[in-house]
Homo-oligomer: A and B are copies of this chain.
Amino acid sequence: MKQTANLPGEFELIARYFAPLARGFPGAFGLLDDVAVIAPLPGHELVAKTDAIVGGVHFLHDDPPDLIARKALRVNLSDLAAKGAVPRAYMLDIMLPKTVTEAWIAAFARGLADDQNEYGVHLIGGDTDSTPGPVTVAIMAFGDVATGRMLRRGGARAGDTVFVTGTIGDAALGLTVLRGQLANLDTNAADFLVGRYRLPRPRVRLSPRLIGIANAALDVSDGLLADLGHLCEASELAAVIEAPRVPLSTAVRAVLATHSGHITTVLTGGDDYEILFTAPPEAVNELAELSRTLDVPITPIGRMRSPSIGKQPQITVLGESGKPLIFDRSGWTHF
């Protein structure tokens, strides 16, 4: 509870910047009690997720504070979304070094306020602390899902089609741009990729609509192939992916046109926060309709199959020619 020297006290900070974010959620008690009270909507249970981000590890120290706040929140909302849950509330632990100013905190809180409007969630509790280390933000998010209907990693069936939303590889190439390793890219493409890295867009509107259609789902945070690996492992199945069908943005296509080796970055890089899911092949029309209604691209990229006898669940990636691609360990460590 100790506070940094150049800031107002903890209670004042909470009253000024965080309590306004708790308005509209009675169980948050205006952040004036010690705890929050939350119950799932009737017929629902709560889905809970926590993820923390650390300065110098998950974001850069001079990243804009509103973007840090929104990224911290959105990586959690993305997990709720991928499970078919509708996000409703979150708690926030924020650890601040002495160098942080009140203006920084004000901007951080504005970022949260913007995303609360965008996603319909409320802050319901939290903790502010000082730290001798970097800014550290831990979020715990809550959503509602119909009882027993949560989309699991482990529900895929052999023969299911593998689908992914949006485009893949943008965030990983955005990080590559930030590292100065894609210097010749045109500014618009570079900005687009960096934006995708800095600010995930969790697919919250789509997610509840996938219940009853998808057999298994998770968000693409570790990378397309790694996350498909998690899904295969949990479902005890193998998968075949056709690389040419993986949906790519114009910016990623531009990168690949001159740096074809970055296909590895695209397929194995993380932070896209799209939804990867499997559904029976006959769901394709219903999904196409959903894609149009919600204006969310949904692309079939492969299929689930039984693993070879005696082998670990395995992912095969087919290239343009229909022949399997081989990834080296640095790119794709599950092989």
User: Is A93 in contact with B138, judged by CB distance below 8 angstroms?
Assistant: yes
Q: Which of A150-158, A187-195, A277-285 contacts B (4 or more CB under 8 A)?
A: A150-158
User: Is B218 in contact with A52, judged by CB distance below 8 angstroms?
Assistant: no
Q: Choose one: B38, B56, B150; the contact of A46 (CB below 8 Å).
A: B38
Within the oligomer, what is the number of copies of this chain? 2
A194 to B48, CA, bound (A): 35
Within 8 A of B (CB), among A38-68: 38-40, 45-58
Within 8 A of B (CB), among A77-126: 79-80, 82-83, 85, 91-93, 95, 124-126
Number of interface residues of A (CB under 8 A): 62
Closest chain B CB from A124 CB (angstroms): 7
Is A219 at the interface (CB under 8 A from chain B)?
yes
User: Is A50 in contact with B127, judged by CB distance below 8 angstroms?
Assistant: yes
User: Is B37 in contact with A49, judged by CB distance below 8 angstroms?
Assistant: no
Q: What residues on B are CB-neighbors of A127 within 8 Å?
A: 50-52, 138
Q: What residues on B are CB-neighbors of A33 within 8 Å?
A: 83, 152-154, 218, 234
A1 to B230, CA, bound (A): 15
Is A129 at the interface (CB under 8 A from chain B)?
yes
A35 to B35, CA, bound (A): 21
* Given A46-B39, A50-B93: A34 touches B218 (CB 8 Å cut-off): yes
Q: What residues on B are CB-neighbors of A79 within 8 Å?
A: 34-35
Q: What 19 additional pairs, Cβ within 8 angstroms, besides A37-B47, A48-B124, A58-B129?
A: A32-B234, A33-B152, A33-B153, A34-B218, A35-B49, A35-B80, A38-B48, A40-B40, A48-B91, A50-B140, A51-B127, A52-B129, A52-B138, A54-B129, A56-B131, A131-B133, A132-B133, A136-B136, A140-B140
